[in-house]
Amino acid sequence: MSLSFLATSITSTTSNNPLWRKKTNPLFNVSKRRLNISCEQRQDDLHVIDRRNVLLGLGGLYGATSTIGNKGMLAIGAPVQPPDLSKCHPATDDETKQPVNCCPPYSTASVVDFVPPSHSEGIRVRKPAHELNTEDVEKFKEAIAKMKALPDDDPWSFNQQATIHCTYCNGAFDQAGIEPPVLLQIHGSWLFLPWHRCYLYFWEKILGKLIGDPTFAIPFWNWDAPEGMHMPKIYLGNSSPLYNDNRDKNHYESVFDYKYAYNDPNPTSPSQVDKVIRENLCQVDRMYKETIRNPELFMGKALRAGQSVPTNASGSLENLHNSVHQWSGPPESPYYDMGNFHTAARDPLFFGHHANIDRMWDLYNNFRGHRPEFKDPDWLEASFIFYDENRQVVKVKVKDCLTSHQLRYAYSPEKLPWMNSGLKCRKEKASKKKGEKKSLQLVSVSEFGTEPRTLTETIRVIVPRPQVSRKKGEKEEASEVLVIREIDAPHGTAARFDVYVSKPIEGLVSEDRGEFAGSFVKIPHTQHKTNSHRHKSSLELGITILLEDIEAEDSKKLVVTLVPRMGKVIIGGVDVDLFKVDDYED
Ligand code: C2O
């Protein structure tokens, strides 16, 4: 199967759906304007300075290792670099706070630049796990069994491969050359998608090597389609090399509810299944529509050398991805394996899940006409190191893995049931019939206030909008974004809250929460702890389409409802802002 065939089938799937068609959907009517990312560059960190100033000071030396004298000022505005292999230290298990060894089995290596596969190489086609034929399943099992049979200290071994995830996310390394030290962390920023793409790429190539099949492709867990919204059978069956016992066994036969939080009733009751599936599909559809013009909303925000997570925010895709981890892993602390980053990749299911995440990025890139999501060199030049299928340590740059095509793999073109699904996604509007208004219980809502608030019970606040009744052209220039600021979730632990938006009725609000806008979902992961102040994250949710759906275009204010689901979370504030779209000339 050639790639052009795949590309055509994906494109035609896309263009068959009127909502997504370029001509009819303003989202895809991408105008050519200069790149403007000013909206995403609010720096919360006052200790950072711009690279250009550093460059002047250093006579043009370009590097991530520059530091500026006193007060721990860091040179940012440089791409995150691979770690110094000789400086690995114990990592931290987020839940237990115990040190763990996540260092690679080598501390020196001659690192060569990654060379993307040649175009004469065939395209490896990743298929949905629930549709694999027996031959494909057996091949996958054989490869994993061989990987598991390797000596534990072999960088190709299943355990060492799983440890790589811990290395890059639990603080086994600091960012090279940065003082004071900043933990290397590839979650919670624009590095999330490219790093995981590379990780899977080498995992797949090594598996192929182990079974002598260069065409070998890993399956993906197609959890964005109704048939895939459960744990794929291939990962079940406790004698299989694909099995892992550390999961939530209540979910083996259950539909995957994206809104699941620990302590929810297990499993989802049969009467709820249709509703859960519909709401899941609607959530994916909305995620794409609200983020298609603003990659930072989908992918996560910038992370430059010297900055630490979670100064910046995860994108919508990463938040949704966290729900999959929580639903798959066991519901008790320390949530091993899937529910804790330190251990997540010990479960073969992890790779099926991440292949789908990668596929969703691939779709996003496709919808946007294959333009790189960011033109910023601090993204394109950011780099990581991996131990490859030729037993060579290679340095891979983000720009090497912007598309699956560059890496010679593709996803089988599945139907996208969330896209233009004709599903009733929006909630029924409150009846406006005369006389019925009295029966609605209306209460007044106040503003958030200036002090941070702990989310122990549902918080409802009224938030002014920067502009009302925006015209079509104005919406093409800027997306309306709900910003939940300064989210302080306890170090390392799991947390979740859901966000709803509704329109006030003459300054009052009904009991109804309104329309679901998105969730903040956090799985245990190591935060930076060397700086004196705590880093807080934020949640940014596009609401341009949502406001059309609830007919709140002309409303000067919105009611935002924050529903606590898990963990102790403190919120700094809630705003509605306009984010300039990122369109630019190629
Ligand atoms: Cu690196 Cu799903 O996490």
Digit-coded pLDDT (tens) for 145-169 = 999 999 999 999 999 999 999 999 8
Q: Which two tokens stand for residue 526?
A: 């190591």
Beta carbons of 579 and 294 less than 8 angstroms apart? yes
* Listed ranges 16-30, 193-207, 502-516; the one with the highest mean pLDDT: 193-207
What percentage of the chain carries pLDDT values higher than 70?
82
pLDDT higher than threshold 90 for residue 177? no
* Residue 325 annotated in ligand binding: yes
pTM for the predicted model, two decimal places: 0.87
pLDDT higher than threshold 70 for residue 428? no
Q: What is the pLDDT of residue 506?
A: 84
Q: Return the higher-pLDDT residue of 43 and 302.
A: 302
Band (pLDDT 50/70/90 cuts) for residue 356 is: very high
Amino acid type, 526: T
Q: What is the DSSP string of 108-131?
A: ---EEE--PPPTTSPPEEE-BGGG
pLDDT higher than threshold 70 for residue 25? no
Band (pLDDT 50/70/90 cuts) for residue 92 is: confident
Atom of ligand 1 nearest to the CA of 357: 2
Quote the CA–CA distance of 481 and 84 in Å, as a whole number.
38
Band (pLDDT 50/70/90 cuts) for residue 42 is: very low
Query: What mean pLDDT is predicted for residues 215-228?
Result: 98
CA dist list (Å): 351 to 242, 342, 378, 521, 554: 11, 15, 27, 20, 45
Atom of ligand 1 nearest to the CA of 196: 1
Q: What is the pLDDT of residue 427?
A: 66
What is the Å distance from ligand 1's center to 526 Cα?
13
Options 114, 158, 187, 448, the catalytic residue: 187
Q: Is 109 left (phi over 0), alpha (psi -120 to 50) or beta?
A: beta
CA dist list (Å): 397 to 82, 112, 113, 120: 10, 12, 9, 22
pLDDT higher than threshold 70 for residue 576? yes
Half-sphere CA count of 43, side-chain side, radius 13 A: 14
* Residue 354 annotated in ligand binding: yes
Domains present along the chain, CATH in parentheses: 42-421 (1.10.1280.10)
Q: What is the DSSP string of 261-284?
A: -TTS-SS--GGGHHHHHHHHHHHH
Query: pLDDT (tens digit, 9 = 90+) per residue, 326-346?
Result: 999 999 999 999 999 999 999
Active-site residue flag, 405: no
Q: Is the dihedral of CA 260, 261, 265, 267 positive or negative?
A: positive
Quote the CA–CA distance of 143 and 206 in Å, as a whole number.
9
* Residue 491 annotated in ligand binding: no
Please enumerate in sequence order all residues whose Cβ is within 8 A of that of 425, keeping only pairs 6 or more positions apart, or say none.
278, 281, 282, 285, 286, 549
Q: Which two tokens stand for residue 520?
A: 């903040």
Active-site residue flag, 325: yes
Band (pLDDT 50/70/90 cuts) for residue 583 is: low
Query: What mean pLDDT is predicted for residues 549-556?
Result: 95
Q: Which two tokens stand for residue 80?
A: 């995150």
Beta carbons of 347 and 213 less than 8 angstroms apart? no
Q: What is the pLDDT of residue 40?
A: 28
pLDDT higher than threshold 70 for residue 316? yes
Active-site residue flag, 528: no
Give the pocket of ligand 1 (CB within 6 Å).
Answer: 165, 169, 187, 196, 321, 325, 341, 344, 354
Quote the CA–CA distance of 95 and 534 in Å, as a whole number.
18
Q: What is the mean pLDDT of the chain?
A: 85
What is the Å distance from ligand 1's center to 452 Cα?
30
User: From atom 3 of ligand 1, which residue's Cα is the shortest distance away?
Assistant: 341
pLDDT higher than threshold 50 for residue 35? no
Quote the CA–CA distance of 208 and 409 in Å, as a whole number.
13
Q: What is the pLDDT of residue 533?
A: 47
pLDDT higher than threshold 80 for residue 7? no
What is the Å distance from ligand 1's center to 170 Cα?
11
Q: What is the pLDDT of residue 425?
A: 82
Short-list 331, 337, 344, CA closest to 566: 331
* Residue 47 annotated in ligand binding: no
Q: What is the pLDDT of residue 448?
A: 96
pLDDT higher than threshold 60 for residue 229? yes
pLDDT higher than threshold 50 for residue 58? no
Beta carbons of 384 and 195 less than 8 angstroms apart? yes
- Calculate the dihedral angle through the C-alpha atoms of 259, 263, 268, 274, rounding to the nearest 10 degrees: -20
Residue length, the chain? 586
pLDDT higher than threshold 70 for residue 5? no
Active-site residue flag, 230: no
Residue 575: strand, helix, or coil: strand
Quote the CA–CA distance of 256 and 267 in Å, as a whole number.
9
Worst-scoring range by mean pLDDT, 54-58, 286-290, 488-492?
54-58
Short-list 175, 186, 201, CA closest to 81: 175
Band (pLDDT 50/70/90 cuts) for residue 76 is: low
Worst-scoring range by mean pLDDT, 18-27, 80-89, 126-135?
18-27
What is the Å distance from ligand 1's center to 57 Cα?
38
pLDDT higher than threshold 50 for residue 302? yes
Query: What mean pLDDT is predicted for residues 280-284?
Result: 96
Beta carbons of 164 and 85 less than 8 angstroms apart? no
Quote the CA–CA distance of 400 and 114 in Å, as a whole number.
8
Burial 378-403 (b: 16+ CB within 10 A, else e): bbbbbbbbbbbbeeebbebbbbbbbe
pLDDT higher than threshold 80 for residue 93? yes
Atom of ligand 1 nearest to the CA of 192: 1
Quote the CA–CA distance of 508 and 482 in Å, as a whole number.
20
Q: Which two tokens stand for residue 62?
A: 């370009």
Q: What is the pLDDT of residue 97?
A: 82
Options 321, 342, 525, 528, the catalytic residue: 321
Quote the CA–CA distance of 376 and 8 in Å, as a whole number.
29
What is the Å distance from ligand 1's center to 163 Cα?
12
**Longest CA–CA separation in the chain, Å:** 78
Q: What is the pLDDT of residue 493?
A: 81
Q: Which two tokens stand for residue 161?
A: 């491969």
Band (pLDDT 50/70/90 cuts) for residue 311 is: low
Active-site residue flag, 354: yes
Beta-strand pair 537-542/478-487? antiparallel
Query: What mean pLDDT is predicted for residues 310-315?
Result: 74
Query: pLDDT (tens digit, 9 = 90+) per residue, 494-545?
Result: 899 999 999 998 888 888 899 999 999 998 876 555 443 467 889 999 999 9
